[in-house]
Amino acid sequence: MQTNGLQKNKTPMLKKTTQLRTLIQSNELEFLLEAHNGISAKIVEETGLKGIWASGLSISASQGVRDNNEISWTQVLANVELMSDITNIPILLDGDTGYGNFNNLRRLVKKLEQRDIAGVCIEDKLFPKTNSFLRTDRQPLADINEFCGKIKAGKDVQMDDDFVIVARVEAFITGWGLNEALKRAEAYKDAGADAILIHSKLSNASEVFSFINEWENRLPVVIVPTKFYSTPTESFRENKVSVVIWANHMIRAAVTRMQETAKQIYNDQCLHMVEDTIVPVKEIFRLQDDQELIDAEKIYLGDSPTSSVNAVILAASQGKQLGKLTIDMPKTMLRVGRKTILRRIVDHLQENRINDITVVAGYKKEEITYSDLNIVENREHEDTGQLTSLLCAVSSLKKTTLIIFGDIIFRKYVLQLVLDDDDDEDVVIIVDTKINPQGKYKSDFVRSKTIKDNQSIFCDKSYVKEIVFSEPSSEYDGEWIGIIKLSGKAIGFAKEFLKTHKDSKDFKSMDINDLINHYVGSGFMVKIQYITGNWIDVNRVSDLTLANELY
Ligand code: SPV
Ligand code: MG
């Protein structure tokens, strides 16, 4: 099977189970750090730590519930699956008591293996468990035989020999002494456990060290120094601890920063003070590995018919007829509903995967602040026409270029009509058939010719005979709305036209309609795609009012 670029870049890794087994059996002191969801797991992995503790306490806390098996085991499973999906280091799940008896544990092990979780730790208490630092005097221990049966059942059912089962001894936690702890550890070892987690609630490591001393490394020992955090790590090393679990520090760190941030936002009712104290959104995208999706899209989506199209939006004019509304901004930046006119056009383009967008700005160009656009300037916007603006964007006339007026609002399908037109013509324009002959405002009206095409299911095709800037009249076939697609020879023609005419005395007053007529006069077939309504040219306050009603 042919591989693709993404898979080739993957370095082969050891199985997660093998990684965890190696870590537990290594002669060095090793560490696991708690994580409770996908993003915290990823953050743990990025530090270089070799493994993750999927803490029951932290997973519960992150959902706002108690560490008393209040969330179901399948909810835990779903959570740990997401953690595993996003990371390459092994996860040891804190499986509490195994969520029931031996049979429940069998099912848990099966489901964990299916999700690439490297191991599970089970504790010798009763379901539903209570956290080891709460009401410990009232916590009964599991019957030794019953717990051994559970371990055996788990070991019997695991498919991968390297899957790890850690048996957690809670004898110290519940007030039993060293002998009980040793007795249990021994039994759990004989039942097949891969390591013993010896837990303690003391603020020093005396209990765990006394256990280790007697235990003599018959199985690797795992500890959780949440309460005896002040014991130096070097002592753990000297005492031949195998693995230290930092069990809840990611959730506690998150809670600290969330409380601070929430309080600050509540007090300030604004974001100024917090913005620089938290990660930028960009960092979230990085953690989510957005880049991988960009790369994958290149491979799997391929070049869609529109991805090689770019756009030029002519948005240099102030829009004086809009009066006060355009004193401080160009009309392209006026809002219609929740979005500016320009943003609406850009969104339609981007929805069609057109991301190479150039805007020719002029009046109050600094008001056009969108960072995803390439802005060029027509400095002479006050006394020049559309072709001067187009000249400012001449380097943006590429393979297939859409030119769009920056003051029109149109429905999404209008853009699709012109993009989907894959006939051979190099110039396609959108024309509205609806003309109000009583209308008083001048616009670009079109006279067309129709050519019969019996080959096509759409039969007849319409082409521009002439485009005239004039008062409306029924003698025209429609109104050009200000969207034109140029491709093939039409691109070179436009560049040549701009070059040869730019110094002529009437160039300053020339508009795109002049270019269209030059296309027609030079033998280009300027194809028409008709629409009926569904767009608004925002020239006056009444247009804006209408646009706000409709969009
Ligand atoms: C956990 O992290 O959920 C643990 C360790 O089981 S402790 O909270 O210390 O019991
Ligand atoms: Mg726990």
CB atoms within 10 A of CB 201: 18
Nearest atom, ligand 1, residue 247 CA: 2
Amino acid at site 64: G
Residue 10 has a pLDDT of 52
What radius of gyration do the chain's Cα atoms show? 35
Which residue's entry shows tokens 């590995």? Answer: 289
Residue 435 has a pLDDT of 87
pLDDT-derived band at 7 (thresholds 50, 70, 90) equals: low
Nearest atom, ligand 1, residue 199 CA: 9
Is 377 in the same domain as 452? yes
Q: Are 236 and 206 in contact (CB under 8 A)?
A: no
Number of domains in the chain: 2
Is position 258 within any domain? no
Nearest atom, ligand 1, residue 96 CA: 6
Length of the chain measured in residues: 551
Alpha helices in 393-467 (DSSP H): 412-420
Mean pLDDT of the chain: 93
Is 546 in the same domain as 398? yes
Ligand 1, pocket-test mutation among 32, 224, 249, most atoms within 8 A of CB? 224
Is 221 in the same domain as 289? no
Nearest atom, ligand 1, residue 67 CA: 3
Is 334 in the same domain as 444? yes
What gap in Å lies between CA 541 and CA 532, rounded to an integer?
A: 22
Is 218 in the same domain as 303? no
Nearest atom, ligand 1, residue 57 CA: 3
Q: Are 384 and 339 in contact (CB under 8 A)?
A: no
Is 182 in the same domain as 286? no
Distance 176 CA to ligand 1 centre (A): 19
Question: CA geometry: angle at 499 spanning 493 and 500, to 5°?
Answer: 90
What gap in Å lies between CA 100 and CA 90, rounded to an integer?
A: 24
Ligand 1, pocket-test mutation among 40, 60, 226, most atoms within 8 A of CB? 226
Amino acid at site 385: G
Nearest atom, ligand 1, residue 56 CA: 3
Residue 436 has a pLDDT of 81
Is position 5 within any domain? no
Is position 125 within any domain? yes
Residue 136 has a pLDDT of 79
What gap in Å lies between CA 93 and CA 142, rounded to an integer?
A: 20
Q: Whose CA is nearest to atom 10 of ligand 1?
A: 132
Is 197 in the same domain as 316? no
- The answer to whether residue 67 is catalytic is yes
Q: Which of 230, 247, 264 is the last residue of a domain?
A: 247
What gap in Å lies between CA 33 and CA 526, rounded to an integer?
A: 66
Distance 259 CA to ligand 1 centre (A): 22
Residue 143 has a pLDDT of 97
Distance 128 CA to ligand 1 centre (A): 14
Strand segments (E) across 407-455: 408-410, 427-432, 443-451
Between these two residues, 316 and 137, which has the higher pLDDT value?
316
Distance 59 CA to ligand 2 centre (A): 9
Is position 198 within any domain? yes
Distance 248 CA to ligand 2 centre (A): 9
CATH value at residue 384: 3.90.550.10
Is 379 in the same domain as 437? yes
Nearest of 287, 250, 230, 253 to residue 32 by alpha carbon: 250
Q: Looking at 67, 444, 511, 543, which residue is catalytic?
A: 67
Between these two residues, 49 and 551, which has the higher pLDDT value?
49
Three-state DSSP state, 346: helix
Reported pTM: 0.61
Tell me the two tokens of residue 121.
């730790």
Residue 24 has a pLDDT of 98
Q: Which of 247, 267, 295 is the last residue of a domain?
A: 247
Ligand 1, pocket-test mutation among 36, 55, 69, 96, most atoms within 8 A of CB? 55
Q: Are 145 and 86 in contact (CB under 8 A)?
A: no
pLDDT-derived band at 3 (thresholds 50, 70, 90) equals: very low
Is position 156 within any domain? yes
Nearest atom, ligand 1, residue 34 CA: 2
Which residue's entry shows tokens 């629409």? Answer: 531
Residues 6+ apart with CB under 8 A from 82: 37, 38
The CA-based dihedral angle spanning residues 244, 247, 249, 250, taken in that order and rounded to the nearest 10 degrees: 110
Is position 287 within any domain? yes
- Neighbour-count burial for 80-119, b at 16+ CB within 10 Å, e otherwise: bbebbebbebbbbbbbbbbbbbbebbbebbeebbebbbbb
Residue 11 has a pLDDT of 56
Residues 6+ apart with CB under 8 A from 292: 6
Is 45 in the same domain as 180? yes
Residue 303 has a pLDDT of 61
Residue 1 has a pLDDT of 44
Is position 257 within any domain? no
Q: Whose CA is nearest to atom 2 of ligand 1?
A: 55
Q: Which helix (H) or strand (E) holds 343?
A: helix 341-351
Is 74 in the same domain as 200? yes
Instruction: Starting from the CA of residue 197, give the closest ligand.
Output: 1
Residue 548 has a pLDDT of 83
CATH value at residue 35: 3.20.20.60
Residues 6+ apart with CB under 8 A from 364: 318, 328, 329, 330, 333
DSSP 143: P
Is 172 in the same domain as 305? no
Ligand 1, pocket-test mutation among 57, 99, 129, 227, most atoms within 8 A of CB? 57
Three-state DSSP state, 244: strand
Distance 88 CA to ligand 1 centre (A): 23
Is position 9 within any domain? no
pLDDT-derived band at 69 (thresholds 50, 70, 90) equals: very high
Distance 206 CA to ligand 2 centre (A): 21
Residues lining ligand 1, CB < 6 A? 55-58, 94, 131-132, 224, 226, 247-248
Is 227 in the same domain as 288? no
pLDDT-derived band at 138 (thresholds 50, 70, 90) equals: confident
Instruction: Starting from the CA of residue 134, give the closest ligand.
Output: 1
Distance 131 CA to ligand 2 centre (A): 6
Q: Whose CA is nearest to atom 7 of ligand 1?
A: 132
Q: Which of 225, 247, 269 is the last residue of a domain?
A: 247
Instruction: Starting from the CA of residue 69, give the closest ligand.
Output: 2
Instruction: Starting from the CA of residue 133, give the closest ligand.
Output: 1
Q: Whose CA is nearest to atom 9 of ligand 1?
A: 132
| Residue 204 burial (10 A CB sphere; 0-12, 13-18, 19+) | middle
Domain that holds residue 488: 279-550
pLDDT by residue (tens digit) across 476-526? 999 999 999 999 999 999 999 999 999 998 999 999 999 999 999 999 999
Instruction: Starting from the CA of residue 36, give the closest ligand.
Output: 1
Tell me the two tokens of residue 545.
């009012």
pLDDT-derived band at 9 (thresholds 50, 70, 90) equals: very low
Ligand 2 is an ion; residues with CB less than 5 A from it: 56-57, 94
Q: Whose CA is nearest to atom 5 of ligand 1?
A: 247
Nearest of 238, 160, 236, 164 to residue 200 by alpha carbon: 236
